[in-house]
Amino acid sequence: MSIHTQRYKSDEEKIENNKEEKTAAQVHAFYFPLISRIVCGMGQLDREHWFRDGSTSSLATRKGSPFRRDDDYPECKRRGYSGTELPQDIWWHIHFLMTMRDAARAACVSRSFLCSWRCYPNLVFNTKIIGMSRDACFTQRVDDILKKHSGIGVKTFDLDFTYCCKQPKAYNYLHRWLQIAVTPGIEKLALVMPGNKDVSFLCPVLSDENGSSVRHLHLAHCAFRPTESLGCLRNLTVLHLNWVRMTGDELGCLLSSCVALERLELRSCHEITYLKIPSWLQRLSYLQVLNCDKLRLLRNEAPNIHSIHLKGRQVEVSLGEALRLKNLDMTGYRVLRYVREELPYSVPNLETISICSRSELVDTTMAFSPSSKFLHLKHVSICIIGTCDYFSLVSLLDAAPLLETFDLHLVTFRNSMGELLSEDPSQHLRRRVGYRHDKLERVKISRFYSSKSLVELTSHILENSASLECLRLDTTDGRGIKCSGERSNKCAHLDSPTEARKAVLVIREHIKRKVPSRVKLQVVEPCKRCYPVELY
């Protein structure tokens, strides 16, 4: 049981403000002998492995250790210190600072801690904490602990129930466990159910005063059917639903009462087809919607949202006038077109854009009008799956005068690489003049290949970026997995090592000579041992 010195100092300041007005000297006289007495009572082996830093030195010989034995406090030894002179709230606070495993061990060797253990606030149950993987043993251990808990003072109830998927009777315990742990004053409730069972979350446990104090709600692999009776979740700040079966109307019913919500995270909630973020969520700053396959329309009306992360197939997105939106991460079909047509007008204050786009048209144009500019955009990361006219991305660069970093990752297929650069040195390359990138410093292109439009884009950046410092062209897949030199290991797989080697030659012939002396050019080539040149 290790308590860091820095943590002790911060806790000492809290104790000084206690109603009992304990002085720092009194806390020093009682606090350290208490911890020493508990640790010494565990036996030599447990004591050596008690410290989180892994050291096996004893308390007496540890250099600079803040812990001292009772013998080091003769004034406590003379009066037969029993630990009962500390107020109960300080005992609870000390217990609160421990992990659940440490708190249980301390309760085994201290009567004072045994009393406060029955009011331990952070109940976290998983195989790492309980130390069991068998279904029956895990269920029985959790049940034994909760039977002995008073149900008073619980702040966190975190149960990973996936280990009980093979024991049908285990679900008979769940309702009783929730009734014991979910009481007025609870702040965090996390429940992960087995993915192969049709289990519904018991909404009545959050009704009335039980739900009024909940600030963090995390549900996974269950059905959640909220009704108007859950209108008491007025203090909920974080809502995380993962593989939860609920409709858009049911989610809307839940959100109607969550006026304090700050983070909303939805993952693989496949029953939701329509999602509306209402305007009364004034505190909502982060929205994440990932892999909700049936979602077709997402409409945001929250005015103060700061970051949005969306990943879906064919979702129609309406962000509204999110003037405070700074970070946008989107994955879907033809996202570049959406960026061009909607974002400059609805979210003009974006600072970071990260998009992954599929099925972009080959002749995609990114012509921005003079009034549609990203005047605050500094970082752009684009992943394009398939082929498009990469030179059209010049318009996006021109629309962001403060752009500092540009990261482009390409995922192409052998039968759809578009127009490749021919070996004819007189081949005409498109150019666009009249604009200088005065802030662009770092550019990275992963899976660079011999596309004509890609060479044109790279050439434009080199010729029009006065502040460019580094250009990285990676002809591999960009994962950076390298062999260790042993025959049994190999570099990351390349779909087309021949094309990667050809891309290296294109860089040498058409790009390297255009690199100014101030710019650092980094070219990542295929491994010559794993992909020797003679194989091409």
Task: Specify which residues 124 forms β-bridges with.
Answer: 158
Per-residue pLDDT, 457: 94
Give, in degrees to the nearest 5, the angle at Cα 338 between 337 and 340. Answer: 65
Per-residue pLDDT, 366: 52
Would you call 532 exposed, middle or buried from its count of C-beta atoms within 10 A (0-12, 13-18, 19+)? Answer: exposed
Reduced to 3 states (helix: H, G, I; strand: E, B; else coil), residue 399 is: coil
Report yes or no: 157 and 190 within 8 Å, Cβ to Cβ.
Answer: yes
Task: Look at residues 332, 317, 442 and name the one whose alpha carbon lies nearest to residue 380.
Answer: 442
Per-residue pLDDT, 112: 66
Report yes or no: 400 and 372 within 8 Å, Cβ to Cβ.
Answer: no
What are the angstrom distances between the C-alpha of 219 and each of 20, 193, 231, 246?
A: 40, 8, 18, 12
Per-residue pLDDT, 262: 97
Report yes or no: 454 and 505 within 8 Å, Cβ to Cβ.
Answer: no
The angle that helices 135-148 and 171-181 make with each other, rounded to 10 degrees, is 30
State how far the Cα of 278 lies from the Cα of 284, in Å rounded to an integer.
10
State how far the Cα of 210 lies from the Cα of 179, in Å rounded to an integer.
10
Report yes or no: 449 and 412 within 8 Å, Cβ to Cβ.
Answer: yes
State how far the Cα of 181 lies from the Cα of 254, in Å rounded to an integer.
22
Q: How many CB atoms lie within 10 A of CB 301?
A: 16
State how far the Cα of 118 lies from the Cα of 114, in Å rounded to an integer.
7
Task: Look at residues 190, 210, 214, 212 and name the one whose alpha carbon lies nearest to residue 201.
Answer: 190
Task: Look at residues 273, 224, 227 and name the one whose alpha carbon lies nearest to residue 245.
Answer: 224
- Residues of the chain short of pLDDT 50, as ranges, are 1-84, 362, 364, 535-536
In this structure, the dihedral spanned by the alpha carbons of residues 298, 299, 303 and 308, taken in order and rounded to 10 degrees, is: 20
Tokens of 254: 């839940």
According to DSSP H, which parts of 88-225 are helical? 88-96, 100-109, 111-117, 127-130, 135-148, 171-181
The residues, ordered by sequence, that sit 6+ positions from 306 with a Cβ below 8 Å of its Cβ are: 285, 286, 324, 325, 326, 327
What are the angstrom distances between the C-alpha of 518 and each of 82, 471, 472, 510?
A: 72, 11, 14, 18
Per-residue pLDDT, 309: 96
Task: Look at residues 266, 358, 363, 268 and name the one whose alpha carbon lies nearest to residue 314.
Answer: 358
Residue located via tokens 């700050």: 262
Per-residue pLDDT, 69: 39
State how far the Cα of 191 lies from the Cα of 156, in Å rounded to an integer.
11
Tokens of 396: 């996006």
Longest dimension (CA), the chain: 98
Report yes or no: 1 and 35 within 8 Å, Cβ to Cβ.
Answer: yes
State how far the Cα of 143 lies from the Cα of 123, in Å rounded to an integer.
12
Report yes or no: 139 and 164 within 8 Å, Cβ to Cβ.
Answer: yes
Per-residue pLDDT, 342: 80
Task: Specify which residues 287 forms β-bridges with.
Answer: 264, 308
Q: What are phi and psi of 148, to 5 degrees?
A: -90, -10
Q: How are beta strands 238-245 and 263-267 bridged, if at all?
A: parallel
Report yes or no: 501 and 526 within 8 Å, Cβ to Cβ.
Answer: yes
According to DSSP H, which parts of 232-276 are helical? 248-255
The residues, ordered by sequence, that sit 6+ positions from 204 with a Cβ below 8 Å of its Cβ are: 229
